Amino acid sequence: MIAFLRGLVQHIGEGELVLEVGGVGLSVTVPKVVLEEAPAIGQPMFLHTYFVVRDASLSLYGFSTVDQRELFELLLQVNGVGPKLAIAVLSYLSPDVIRSAVVNNQPEVLSRVPGVGRKTAQKMIFHLKDRLVAPLEEIGLPSEIDTEVLSVLTALGYSLVEAQTALGFIPEDAPQDVEGRVKFALKYFARP
């Protein structure tokens, strides 16, 4: 198994990037969030990876955190979820939002991802609910401040799923007041 790659970014494309590692260009499929965080062409990048061998193809999937990779692996264990759909889930929802949706039995959150219907979302919840390792208090309902942030974002016209996803991308060291957290959430929506 190829656990990680460290190399120079040579190309950034739609859903993939090419890293030069030891003189070899490796095409790596990545979630959107990884593409958005990718450094400029020619700059070094580190990715946690997962190698998939299927029939006549070899594919490499890359993630910025071990948490993303582990969730990807768990999603692959769900019947009907392949690498393409697992990457789509991680492209549209942060790991925290996925965990929250599973723990709080919210298939409507997962089914907002293109390609994930209600049945698949329910299968994901059924399969993942006993396999997620984080303590419930870490991924349970949002705090009072985050609940207010969700209210502000939905009042601004964002859907609940979009607001929850933006909330999941707010850094841990972000201000703990509503205004500061809303600013960070709006930065999530302003990204390309």
pTM: 0.71
91 lies in the same domain as 124: yes
Digit-coded pLDDT (tens) for 172-185: 788 889 999 999 88
Is the pLDDT confidence value at 34 over 50? yes
For 15: left if phi > 0, alpha if psi spans -120 to 50, otherwise beta; the answer is left
The radius of gyration computed from the CA coordinates of the chain, to the nearest angstrom, equals: 17
Residue numbers of the domain that contains 80: 66-137
How many angstroms separate the CA atoms of 62 and 46, rounded?
9
pLDDT band at 150 (very low <50, low <70, confident <90, very high): confident
At 33, which CATH number? 2.40.50.140
- 120 and 177 in a single domain? The answer is no
For range 113-126, the mean pLDDT:
94
Alpha-carbon distance of 192 to 40, in angstroms, equals 15
Q: CA 101, CA 148: separation in Å to the nearest integer?
A: 19
Query: Looking at the 3D structure of the chain, how many domains does it have?
Result: 3
Residues of the chain with pLDDT > 70: what percent? 94
Residues 84 and 124 in one domain: yes
CATH number of the domain where residue 179 is located:
1.10.8
The average pLDDT across 62-72 equals 94
pLDDT at 171 over 90: no
Question: Same structural domain for residues 132 and 146?
Answer: no
Report whether pLDDT(139) > 50.
no
